[in-house]
A and B are shown apart, each in its own frame.
Chain A
């Protein structure tokens, strides 16, 4: 069967919420990367059979954001598009969806990616206020209107913050940071270990700045167009253990260990990848970055969502018929340092493998081959885009270092894990 090739990819710089990209919408960020990857690959927009973007916040002013992106990027109106949502794995979901479609013959070249503008997640009205507005619009006489008007109270006007709502699990009631604390306590992972993991992430990201430019298209943020941003904003040049130690736990103020410093950053950004059948790649005389070998998703308890990769990784390996030791490089998304560490511990544990039937597919992941350009703690985590970013970063790395096999994985809010094995 035809293999699924990823031909090229590009991403915006990742910028912390409220910084350089804050006035650009998710669709605009998606537009930038979509158009750029097509131009840089020397394709014509009409070569694209479909557009699939992952997105979590689902902007209210751009329903089916993929379609909006496709049109803004100048793709023909006849090119269909749909949006996928698998929370933090939305970007991976887009690529997986594209792979499946191509495998069953539904298209030969699909533009897949992820986009997120966390700066633009709106505040919502209270339902009670919404009800009052509805009553108001139904009131017929001025007298009735006055009656409704008299019911307004200040409390009705306190907003519900969309970002908070999105980062809170409705099934278990915990926010993402609190689920990380669950793992910290369950595995007994000390604060220092988490902070050290975070420090390395920053150090690696800073060292990789030049390297990462290969995958970044400089963006001049609208509407100011003052300058071009070409690097991620998150990585700190002078991050230290002392500075990290000073931060107080954010999610459990008294007994917690998870801080803003050892968690991922809330960020704006987008990434796009061109997914094609191997035949199409040859027809167009292109040279792919690599191929999708296997993928897997797994469900876990919502309040332990961070453990997702420990389940998704062995499943993907099993599908690929590979051992953990076959993998030459790993990207595991750093939603929280503690959550990655918990996954590593689980994968090293024989009991864990036995309990879930993963024997032969687990083992130790060396830090030297894990997130070697830093991760979301330094670079940031624009939720819908990260999955696509991990695949892009991994493929570029594999190409540079001439590696054969790499694996990317994420934990997923709501209690899931996702993993994709890439090969060259």
Chain B
């Protein structure tokens, strides 16, 4: 039974306790039962208070049932479901009995809206407490009265902040903004709650003194019509900037609150239900839900054969090869309180590594993600060295030296001589063979590819590459390490460019070919940002450095054949030293101004001056189509297990737009037959065999299947 109602000492208790799960979810089944209990309470003799409580550790109610939301197929159904929840919550709100949400854990989405419908909210000092409305992250908005009640309770500014960002607050922040009325210790919470009930049981409504009114400018913005309009205006600008028009939910939520903030409950909730119904059926919503599932899947994923193994604890790590990448890796470890011995043979490279780690910490401190004290303590965890001193007791070593096989092999031979052979050895190679590298270490079973993406602290993906000899224990350790670093890990077979770089470089190379035809740098970049990519291919190349990209492209060309022949304009740009941001000039110019105009030199590097006109759509078709074809090839070659790995890799490794659900989810939606037709058309029209659909795609097409049906 997910819900238990009981009465002790004239206090009613509704305990949420889903027997089949570690968390409580607000399914419609639970809601209906809850509704029944409310009817019971309303007719029973007057209680002193009604307390809503969870029997789960660190969870109050984690949210609504996402499956149910996903299954809503038309707006009317969505609106109706929203109404259903609203009605029950109104009933809760309208009870004469004082109602209290006793919060001792995660209180999100529907759970938060339930707490908002209570007259009082009492929370413990539990650090696991998160209270918020994350609905916009799934492309919807709070549909059980959250948009109506939250801004009224905590003020418009805080309410908008939580709803539009899909964020959450800790219990102390919640207390500060008035979302929670009292904070009590976890120990003996019953006594503290009892005391609270005694204080409020005779009151007919929530006392005004509980309401925190902000003062000064914040107060003006919250309380006066003028200020409120200013808040709406500023929020709209911020929302448009962050969603770039791809994600309709936050804007819709904003427009909704702008209306229902001034309406009575019935009318306000009616608007909310309609807005919910409209959003819940959008493709964006469905795709974001898929991406949510994807992230849940990869949070727990372990390769077959590893399920019963335990990952080794990593407390100290040696990082070999400083510089920007090594420094970034060191920063991540130190951030997660793992001691780092950062080694390089060049003092300058070491200094650069320390600097890049420090810059990340300083930025985090500026943004108040960490305190200045934390910054000092964490930065102190990184100690530089020119030799292998301090490697005697490392739990793992991450190699991040220059991408040359012979150098890497030499480095691993050295590491092997210094470090206990049982330790985990990771190479941060972006394209070289792990199996080949393993030949230089004492115990090749302990070497695994552990590919970070730049900038390390921001990119959530790690490609874990299994060499021929890599043992299941090593894979388990690597997945454990990735998780303890807060990253999403995918398993990839040892092949040139692995997964993400292979697909990404096919795309960048195609961008260069389009450039060669006479399209401008901006035009191509624009076409892809319009598609939803966080930055265009040329901007990305400038960020990463053309030398890095081109090196991988050469490896791909060598290993995978002609379709990776680098576009000649890339070679020429490289030869001119236009590497990107790091050299001050790339496809764009990086001067003092923030504008970063296009580098006029690029045009002159085209091999012919002929100009073909190309539409943005054609650009997208060529580049995305080629990516899909390459991803299908990866599946064909069994580089990765299934389409979900490709999508996880592309979303978290390259920022492929989540609202499209992932590269192959997008291909499925585009239609496999359509993809095949477009590719075949391009192959013919451009006389370019690289577009010829691979076997895997053709099979899908023939069997009328989709990527996600295989």
Whether A71 pairs with B377 at a CB distance below 8 angstroms is: yes
Residues of the B chain whose Cβ atoms lie less than 8 Å from the Cβ of A36: 383
Are B341 and A39 in contact, CB atoms less than 8 angstroms apart? yes
At the interface, yes or no: B355 with Cβ under 8 Å from chain A?
A: yes
- Stretch from A126-134, A153-161, A218-226 contacting the other chain: A218-226
Please, how many angstroms separate the alpha-carbon atoms of A32 and B381 in the complex?
10
Q: Which residue of B lies closest to A225 (CB)?
A: B355
Instruction: Tell me, yes or no, whether B358 is within 8 Å of chain A by CB.
Output: yes
Contact A35 B358 (CB under 8 A): no
**A72 close to B376 (CB less than 8 A):** yes
Given the complex, which residues of B lie within 8 Å of A237, measured CB to CB?
Answer: none
Produce 1/0 per residue, B319-352, CB < 8 A to A.
Answer: 0000000000000000000010100000110111
A355 on interface, CB distance cutoff 8 Å: no
* Known interface pairs A39-B385, A39-B389, A74-B339; A227-B351 also in contact (CB < 8 Å): yes
- Are A227 and B380 closer than 8 Å at their CB atoms? no
User: What distance in Å separates the Cβ of A26 from its nearest Cβ neighbour in chain B?
Assistant: 13
Q: A71-B377, A72-B376, A74-B381 are in contact. Are A40 and B347 (CB under 8 A)?
A: no
Contacts of B484 in A (CB 8 A): none
| CB nearest to B379 among chain A residues | A222
From the candidates B350, B380, B384, name the one contacting A28 in the complex (CB within 8 A).
B380
A73-B380 in contact (CB<8A): yes
Evaluate whether A228 and B350 lie within 8 angstroms (CB atoms) in the complex, with A40-B390, A74-B380 already known.
yes
Q: For A71, what are the chain B residues with a Cβ–Cβ distance below 8 Å?
A: 377
A223 and B341 within 8 A (CB): no
Partner of A220, one of B339, B354, B381: B354
Q: Does any Cβ of B come within 8 Å of A31's Cβ?
A: yes
B392 contacts A42, CB within 8 Å? yes
In the complex, which residues 369-403 of chain B have their Cβ closer than 8 Å to any Cβ of chain A?
376-377, 379-381, 383-386, 389-390, 392-393
| Residue among A42, A223, A225 with the highest chain B CB neighbour number at 10 A | A225
- Please indicate the chain B residues that have their CB under 8 angstroms from the CB of A224 in the complex: 355
A175 shortest CB reach to chain B, Å: 33
Chain B residues within 8 Å of A218, by CB: 347, 386
A220 CB contacts on chain B under 8 angstroms: 347, 350-351, 354, 384
Residues of B within 8 A of A44 (CB): 393
Contact in complex: A72, B389 (CB < 8 Å): no
Q: CB-CB contacts of A59-73 with B at 8 A, as 1s and 0s?
A: 000000000000111
Q: Cα distance A228–B384 when bound, in Å?
A: 10
Note all chain B residues with C-beta closer than 8 A to A228. Answer: 347, 350-351, 384
A73 — nearest CB in chain B belongs to which residue? B380
Q: Which residues of A contact B389 (CB under 8 A)?
A: 39-40, 42
Candidate in B377, B380, B385 with the most chain A CB atoms within 10 angstroms? B380
Q: Is B212 an interface residue (CB 8 A)?
A: no
Question: Is the beta-carbon distance between A225 and B348 smaller than 8 angstroms?
Answer: no
- Chain B residues positioned under 8 Å from A40 (CB to CB): 389-390
Q: Is the CB of B362 within 8 A of A223?
A: yes
Bound-complex Cα distance A74 to B380 (A): 8
Given contacts A39-B385, A223-B358, contact A31 B351 (CB under 8 A): no
Question: A74 CA to B317 CA in the complex, in Å?
Answer: 13
Interface hits, A38-88 → B, CB 8 Å? 39-40, 42, 44, 71-74
The residue in chain A whose Cβ has the minimal distance to the Cβ of B354 is A225
Q: List 13 A-B contacts (CB under 8 A).
A: A28-B376, A32-B383, A35-B383, A39-B390, A42-B389, A71-B377, A72-B376, A223-B358, A224-B355, A225-B352, A225-B358, A227-B348, A228-B351
Binding site for B on A (CB under 8 A): 28, 31-32, 35-36, 39-40, 42, 44, 71-74, 218, 220, 222-228, 230
Q: Give the 4 A-B residue pairs with the shortest CB-CB distance, closest first.
A: A39-B390, A225-B355, A228-B347, A225-B354
Known pairs A225-B354, A226-B351; list 8 more (Cβ under 8 Å). Answer: A32-B383, A39-B385, A71-B377, A72-B376, A74-B381, A220-B347, A224-B355, A225-B352
